[in-house]
Amino acid sequence: MNKMQKALHELAEMDELAARSSPIHSLHPAAKLIATIAYILVTLSFDKYDLSGLVPMLLWPILLFQISGVELRSCFYKLRIVLPLVMAVGLFNPFFDKEIVLRIGPAAVSGGVVSMLTLMLKGLYCLMASFLLMATTPIDNLCAALRQLHVPKMLVTLLLLTYRYVGVMTGELAIMTEAYHLRAPGQKGIHISAWGSFLGQLLLRSMDRAQELYASMLLRGYHQHFHYADIKPFRRRDALYLIGCVLVFALLRYGKIAQLLGSAIVR
């Protein structure tokens, strides 16, 4: 399977997850979007040495994963892209920040190690939160919510159309790449003599296709406005979910849960 087929597979997987039903799936997309953004902001606001404050933040996504029935495994698969980048930046911290801040038995832990760990945890949490949003909200509903939140129409329509065509284009390029490699076995990528024509051919065809697409949209009555199939009203349970989330985040941010739990046992 080449890179593009893998990407297609990932896209299909997300669509499949979003099409399931669960209490989380049935919430209003705007409530989920705002709660996700709030969660990420709260997570990012922790101090770079506040490891014990950050750990309890794990509970919210874990709980939602379980309620929504989305497997944690599929989320961790996506980590392979993000974590190396975060690590690359965080890896320098232990070398520059050697101040000992904590001793666990004989082992001394430096500030750099603590800040590296918080950085990695923050990366993990933010990813889990946005993955959860996308795995429980179909893109159409999300776009409808974005419109309700007054995100410009042009941007939302463009997002929807592009999302529709990402699958088509990626599929087409996957076939082209496959065909190219079958005719050029053992070659690592596209040879320099085909750099321009490989993508260029498809580009030219696609431009024409886009014009036809627009013509067909006009024929079906498009006048710069999309009708979203099911814009749900913002119900009381959505508001309750949102308020509950904000309260939980405030508790996790200022409650020092980990220390309270720990001191209950230690003392």
Partner 1 sequence: MHMADALLAPAVAATMYVASGTAVGVSIHKLKKDDEPQKLPVMAVTAALVFAGQMINYTIPGTGSSGHMCGGMMHSALLGPYAGFLSMIVILAIQCLFFADGGLMALGANVWNMAFYGCFVGYFLIWRPIMQSRWFGAGKGAQRARIVAASIIGCIVTLQLGAFSVVLETSLSGITELPFGAFVALMQPIHLAIGLVEGLITSAVLLFVYESRPELLQCVEPAEGGSSRRSLKAVVAILAVVVLVVGGGLSLLASSNPDGLEWALFGNAEEGYAENMGLDEENYGVESAAAETAGAIQEKTSFLPDYAFADNDAAVGTTVSGVVGSAMVAGVAILICLAGGFFRKKRQSA
In the window 104-163, what residues touch partner 1 (CB under 8 A)?
104, 111-112, 114-115, 119-120, 122-123, 126-127, 129-131, 133-134, 139, 152, 154-155, 157-159, 161-163
Q: What distance in Å separates the CA atoms of residue 63 and residue 65, rounded to the nearest whole number?
A: 5
Record the tokens describing residue 30, joined without a space. Answer: 């705007």
Nearest distance from C-beta of residue 50 to partner 1, angstroms = 6
Taking the alpha carbons of 248, 246, 55, 125 in that order, is the dihedral positive or negative?
A: positive
Phi, psi of 100 (to 5 degrees): -75, 125
Q: Which of 149, 175, 179, 204 binds partner 1 (CB under 8 A)?
A: 204
Residue where the block lists tokens 């463009």: 158
- The reply on whether position 175 binds partner 1 by CB under 8 A is no
Which secondary structure element, helix H or strand E, spans residue 108, and what is its range? strand 107-110
CA 159 to the chain's CA centroid:
15
- The reply on whether position 255 binds partner 1 by CB under 8 A is no
Nearer to partner 1 by Cβ, of 119 and 231: the residue is: 119
Q: Which of 190, 228, 231, 246 binds partner 1 (CB under 8 A)?
A: 190
Near partner 1 by CB under 8 A, which window of 23-31, 192-200, 229-237, 240-248?
192-200
- The reply on whether position 90 binds partner 1 by CB under 8 A is yes
CB 247 within 8 A of CB 39: no
Nearest distance from C-beta of residue 240 to partner 1, angstroms = 20
Checking 224-232 for CB contacts under 8 A at 24+ apart, the result is 224/153, 224/157, 225/153, 226/156, 226/157, 226/160, 228/140, 228/141, 228/143, 228/144, 228/147, 229/140, 230/141, 230/144, 231/144, 231/148, 232/28
Q: Which of 175, 243, 250, 260 binds partner 1 (CB under 8 A)?
A: 260
Residues 27-46 that bind partner 1 (CB under 8 A): 36-37, 40-41, 43-45
Q: Which of 74, 206, 231, 237 binds partner 1 (CB under 8 A)?
A: 206
Nearer to partner 1 by Cβ, of 107 and 236: the residue is: 107
CA 249 to the chain's CA centroid:
20
Q: Which of 114, 112, 94, 99 is CA-nearest to residue 53?
A: 114
Nearer to partner 1 by Cβ, of 215 and 240: the residue is: 215
Nearest distance from C-beta of residue 234 to partner 1, angstroms = 21
